[in-house]
Structure 1
Amino acid sequence: MMMNFGYLLWVAPAFLLMMWAQFRIRSAYGRGMEVPASLSGAAAAQHILDSAGLDNVAIEMTEGVMSDHYDPRHKVLRLSRDVYSSRTATAVGIAAHEAGHALQDATNYAPMTIRNLAVPAAQFGSGFGGILLMLGFIMASKPLLIVGIVVFSGVVFFQLVNLPVEIDASNRAKRVLTQLGIVDADGAGAVRSVLNAAAWTYVAGALESVLTLLYYVSLVTGGSRREE
């Protein structure tokens, strides 16, 4: 089966990094919610969009926790309830990060364009690629593993190209929040902590996909043995 001991050893660094990143983001999120900001998350995002002349991007509230995202296809910035309405450093930091994606979209930021094009390959690779890899592992079939590796590579490519997109959006957020006076020095520090912690989750996700790919490559090349 896919989740064997050898696989767990390969991806252990990524799992440990993700656990550490999740701890950091929960801690930073909570601290940032106690630091006041001059605007709510929705108002901060609107201010950023207006300052950039982006009057074609809508802002909507969405349910869920940390469900915030920018939809480039429909030009909609969706913010979770707490982020949308809270006047805190955490709220404006996350809202500004998502607004940063809208700014990337408006300026045709190349890594974001590539990432958007890679979405179908990543979706296909995470589903069908995983099935092929698992079957190849169970059946000890190198042809299946090779095909699975090729398909799963779409996931790895997406994760890698996603890193500069997320980091750039966070850098834009930190910069514009200070430039527009939405946060003071304390608020800027809290925003930095939240966004830096979030960035490590993307690093951990990319590392896990790379290590998973390398694990299956090692099976094909004979670098490791299947666990019985």
Structure 2
Amino acid sequence: MLYSRGFYGFDPTMIILLPAIILTIYAQSKVKTNFAKYLRKSTQKSYTGVQVARTLLDQHGLHNIPIEISKGHLSDHYDPGNGILRLSSEVYQGNSIASVSVAAHEVGHAIQHANGYIPLSLRNMIFPLASFGSSTAWIFIAVGLMVPSLGGLMDIGIWIFGAAVAFQIITLPVEFNASSRALQLLDSNGFIVGDEIKGAKKVLNAAALTYVAAMASGIAQLLRLILIRNRNSREK
């Protein structure tokens, strides 16, 4: 934790994080609630997640992309590096509104990759730096704070952390586009009908909100770090 002068040790810059923390808690609650609710509601057509995913992939000429079962809850993802679509067992085997919605969303990412969707390409390009930054930036920042003579390390840490925040920002259009594709594909292929479409929207919108919360948290933390850095510079 980063400490700075404040009333009885309280770091006033922590206030910047409060809205993002509240949004994160709310987003996590929404995604858990909506996923659990619509995981219990089967679709009228009773297609499983893997059937929906395979049909949509083949429909777009992506016959070479295998579908595997991934371990863990809500572990669904498309792996662009290996060209593999992985679905959690509840999505892979399930025929619920949540199952087909998540499966179609991941197919949306596969289609983005195949079509050279620019935001996805940018996200994949900066992923290595963002992954490095999210775990390493705090080392530079902590050392820069503890050893004032090495304050330049904090600047390096902030720039590295900024790459992770940029990744979160670029992730938003990627996720929203994948969800939009998913809803259109589910509807046009008749996988969901009637009020099931509303349920699918709730599942996907709740998931998208978690990415909004992650971006808000990243931006808030970056702003806080910059304020701490600037204040420390003035106090030297």
Q: TM-score range by the shorter chain?
A: over 0.9
Match 2:29 to one of 11, 23, 37? 23
Aligned residue in 1 for 2:133: 125
Please report the TM-score for the alignment, with normalisation by the length of structure 2: 0.90
Q: How does 1:94-133 map to 2 (within 5 A)?
A: 94-133=102-141
Residue pair 1:35, 1:186 contacting (<8 A) in 2 also: no
1:202 aligns with 2:211: yes
Structure 2 CA distance, aligned partners of 1:166 and 1:222? Answer: 36
Cα–Cα, structure 1 residues 224 and 32, in superposed 2: closer, same or farther, change >3 Å? farther
Mapped contact 2:48–2:91 kept (Cα < 8 A): yes
Counting only pairs closer than 5 Å after superposition, residues 1-228 of structure 1 correspond to structure 2 as 1-2=1-2, 5-37=11-43, 38=45, 39-140=47-148, 142-222=151-231
Alpha-carbon separation, structure 2, partners of 1:33 and 1:225: 54
Between the aligned residues of both structures, percent identity stands at: 36
Structure 1: which 5+ residue stretches go unaligned? none
Q: How many residues align?
A: 226
Task: Return closer, same or farther for 1:192/1:223 CA change in 2, 3 Å cut-off.
Answer: farther
Residue 36 of structure 1 deviates from its aligned partner by: 1.4
CA distance in 1, matches of 2:198, 2:212: 21
Amino acid in structure 1 at the alignment position of 2:231? G
Distance across 2 between alignment mates of 1:81 and 1:223 = 50
Cα separation, 2, equivalents of 1:211 and 1:54: 39
Offset of residue 106 of structure 1: 0.6
With CA pairs under 8 Å and 6+ residues apart, which has the higher RCO, 1 or 2? Answer: 1
Question: Is 2:14–2:224's contact at 8 Å kept on the other side of the alignment?
Answer: no
What TM-score does the superposition give when structure 1 sets the normalisation length? 0.93
Contact 1:219 1:225 in 2 (8 A): no
**1:132 Cα deviation after fit:** 1.0
- RMSD between superposed Cα atoms in Å: 1.9
Q: Report if aligned partners of 1:126, 1:155 keep a CA contact under 8 Å in 2.
A: yes
Contact preservation (8 Å) 1:46, 1:59: yes
Deviation at 1:225, TM superposition (A): 9.7
Q: Which has the larger radius of gyration?
A: 2
Task: Return the alpha-carbon distance in structure 2 between the equivalents of residues 223 and 196 of structure 1.
Answer: 41
Give the letter aligned to residue 2 of structure 1.
L
Deviation, structure 1 residue 41:
0.6
SS at match of 1:79: strand
Does the 8 A contact of 1:7 with 1:212 survive in 2?
A: no
Q: Which amino acid aligns with 2:76?
A: D
Q: Determine if contact 1:35/1:190 at 8 Å carries over to the other structure.
A: no
The Cα shift of 1:171 comes to 0.6
Counterpart Cα distance in 1 of 2:183 and 2:142 = 42
Residues 101 and 200 in structure 2, CA contact (< 8 A), matched pair in contact too: yes
How far, CA to CA, are the matches of 1:186 and 1:193 in structure 2? Answer: 11
